[in-house]
Amino acid sequence: GESGKSTFLKQMRIIHGIKFENDLIREYQQVIYQNLVKGMKVLADAREKLGIPWGDNNNVDLGRELFQLDHGLVLSPVRFNHYSSLLSRLWQDSGIRRAFDRRREFQLSDSVEYFFNNLERIARPDYIPTNKDILHCRKATKGITEFVIPINNIPFLFVDVGGQRSQRQKWFQCFDSVTSILFLVSSSEFDQVLLEDRITNRLEESKNIFDAIVNNIIFGNVSIILFLNKFDLLERKVGNPETDIRWYFPQFTGNSHSMQDVQKFILSMFTGVKRNPKKPLYHHFTTAVDTENIKVVFNSVKDTILHRNLEILMLE
């Protein structure tokens, strides 16, 4: 989960001019409010568990008030505005910020920082989510979502599947007539563990799933395109002296603060599991929340998919 699959699908809509319906925008607005409330609860809980004191003791009561809030609650813009000052005060607390700096030690959505940095705008009573907000908003994909996007008058059917362990048994039933698989990996998660068991390294888990797909006989004629996503977050981590890929992957021999070395290592982790040397594997480093980046990457991917379709038609 959280590799950016649904974000990529949202980008496909934006890039190809398919507007989000008003009902969907309202739904995303709720998800954004919930992302903020839940994100702060996770941070406040982590602050306590990590033994980090509040920066301001006056925030003890605000912390208690926060935990009385139901983050699944439907909030009107006016009601959310009422809670926004509480969230803003807590976000400015040095104890919360110290917990945030240690976020790899617990499960926190990548978009929390973006939303808190935009809290003042989001808290306005007339707030309507922008495309950028919608791209950042996080809701776990349950089951299978299909979406058809006409590209150059050719209908592309995108099938988005939930990435959590509980969702994976549903995958193979929708892989019947697939011509291409876009496999997204969160490349920045080399220092994080799974939500499901809190032990397994997220990058290792992604590699194991990729292994099962790239070497599966069912996909012998399917083109596989690997998106090593969240390049922006990977860049931040590689530049951060407080984390080091060697702590999690001792087999890494390069310069742990060189973007080129880390990219090469992560890519080789995935290309190294492919058993059939003749099977082509395409790859791109991507930032799914960056529309311009995805536009460029998808132009290249589109040609691969169309070329593959043509080959299949000629074989029939």
CA distance 71 to 87: 12
What is the three-class DSSP state of 11?
helix
207 is in an annotated binding site: no
110 is in an annotated binding site: yes
Partners of 225 in beta bridges: 182, 282
* The Cα angle at residue 5 between residues 4 and 6, in degrees rounded to 5: 95
291 is in an annotated binding site: no
State phi, psi for 299 to the nearest 5 degrees: -60, -40
Would you call 138 a catalytic residue per the annotation? Answer: yes
Residue type at 132 in one-letter notation? K
Catalytic residue (one of 7, 29, 192, 287) = 7
179 is in an annotated binding site: no
163 is in an annotated binding site: yes
308 is in an annotated binding site: no
6 is in an annotated binding site: yes
Cα 239 to chain centroid distance, Å, stands at: 20
137 is in an annotated binding site: yes
**In this structure, are residues 266 and 254 in contact, taking their beta carbons and an 8 Å threshold?**
no
24 is in an annotated binding site: no
Both tokens of 132, joined, read 């950028």
Catalytic residue (one of 11, 34, 104, 138) = 138
176 is in an annotated binding site: no
64 is in an annotated binding site: no
**In this structure, are residues 193 and 252 in contact, taking their beta carbons and an 8 Å threshold?**
no
162 is in an annotated binding site: yes
Would you call 164 a catalytic residue per the annotation? Answer: yes
**In this structure, are residues 243 and 191 in contact, taking their beta carbons and an 8 Å threshold?**
yes
141 is in an annotated binding site: yes
Catalytic residue (one of 2, 133, 189, 205) = 2
**Helix residue spans in the chain (DSSP H):** 5-15, 22-49, 59-67, 77-91, 94-101, 112-117, 119-122, 131-136, 202-214, 231-238, 259-271, 291-315
Catalytic residue (one of 29, 47, 93, 160) = 160
CA distance 232 to 136: 13
Partners of 213 in beta bridges: none
Catalytic residue (one of 107, 145, 164, 243) = 164
Would you call 121 a catalytic residue per the annotation? Answer: no
3 is in an annotated binding site: yes
135 is in an annotated binding site: yes
CA distance 102 to 98: 7
Q: Which residues are documented as binding site for Mg(2+)?
A: 6, 141
Active-site residue numbers? 2, 7, 138, 160, 164
In the annotated binding site for GTP, the residues are 2-7, 110-111, 135-141, 160-164, 229-232, 288
Binding residues: 2-7, 110-111, 135-141, 160-164, 229-232, 288
